[in-house]
Structure 1
């Protein structure tokens, strides 16, 4: 693994923010299964951006798994913008690995609710960086690796595909994207100044069971199940690089275990131990094909009847503000450095989602 320092997860304290969230919960479940000793701290505000019952459901799965795991699990309800609480958590538990997944998500929501994004994604992330910086005080070992969520949204209206981490990302088309680009800049600055090993992950449309209800596949399912019409943006001329949740978790897990190496440059100052990767499916799917597959799987899982009139429940509409027509990840760097490639196709992923949906909503 080039210029990476191996980080053993066992016998460590790992802080996962946003853990009852979609990616966070699945990551914690995997850690509880794989680790043989250690402590996992889950941190989340449990806000009501979407149905809090889903977060409670995921937290319930975590607590159930923790009861059977040799690993200790602690849940702390709090807000990243609460600096004193975060400092208290770092002082008390001294996390060696920090995975920051807590963020105000959603491109469209950011248009009408900018405050939530500044508080969580800017102030909250700054507080994480400050806590990591001070973890080295008094000769302490401190944080060995900070892994944080960025987003494919940083590519904005980039016409060149696939999106490469070497592309310029200076023209965000939503506040959400701007906050995620800011996270990368702040992390770089802190890596340089305080020698904090950090890795940013640009996620590409993550989906799967117990996902976020504001994501298209989930909201479309809810609308179709209620007999409502779904809107298909840009008249269906959209392509998305969908990534199944288990693939994302596998990628995050590998990245956690390989921190950028600390070293000094010719000037004797730290070369920032900093990296950013795309983490996506690497095969963009046409939105209409994706919807057809989803509909077939909803019928198969008996969420919808065989004779459901799909055409009658579709409306093709124009582009939404802040949205982009295509997302397509070039994940070569992640494959080269961590040997990771997403493996689950949309048919398999949507089948698992449809089966979960039927069970969870007792359709």
Structure 2
């Protein structure tokens, strides 16, 4: 995006569900929102063409910025028409736990700074020229952007405002062999087999790291993480759900993702979900297969010495995964082995190729 001129990466303008002009009002603040899904500009467009709501910009997990309503017009974003007339509103793609990716936060902050500079609003500050959606109505929006990431968004917006107004020097590009989106992780090897897959998954918001600056490529993927990963990959709408398991209460970060997965057949409904257990490779493959529609493979694969270790319930899924190239490139399936986070990233990257 060209922030200096407020020119987004993509323009996909709505044809309805906004108001032309601003009823004589001037822009006074930026409204901050989240999508309640790991969405894109295109998914926002599809939703708002059929729902009476809209915002001016959408920021995706990859950092891509799209515009859906011109700045000069009024978006239907805050549930308060007067506030809508005085604001420019930004939607952010979010992960299953309500947070946004580093790339999304940085692009959103840069966009807030650019809007504040363009319309003479001053240095970005919560409660002054930045307001969360929940300030105007009872809602969880904008998720962790007004929770655990509240200070980070404000700080980044202020940094970019200082850079754009000449009050601070532009940041130097760090000399690192890692892809830029992975620069915050100290435990990744730029030459490792998984680096391309991890880069894709982090950039698109399918997987995220830990707060300590770790991605944990060799850590076991938990069943909760597996479900959240697939929900992020599916860009699932996590706003409507039912409580499916007795060991999954409404409090954990993965609750909505588990409910979505249960309602959509990604996981089998049962009494227990075991969210903190390590997911086996067969379990992750079965979840991906279920989400992809459960199509049958043409036949059982050959050339795998450990095919006999595949559980009966996972055989169709594993055969599908081999046929699609999701697993099996190294000649081993390792179905009962705990799936690492790097292996899960590779499965998603392989699935994304088609």
TM over 0.5: no
* Bigger CA radius of gyration: 2
More helix by share: 1
More strand by share: 1
**TM-score of the pair, normalised by structure 2:** 0.31
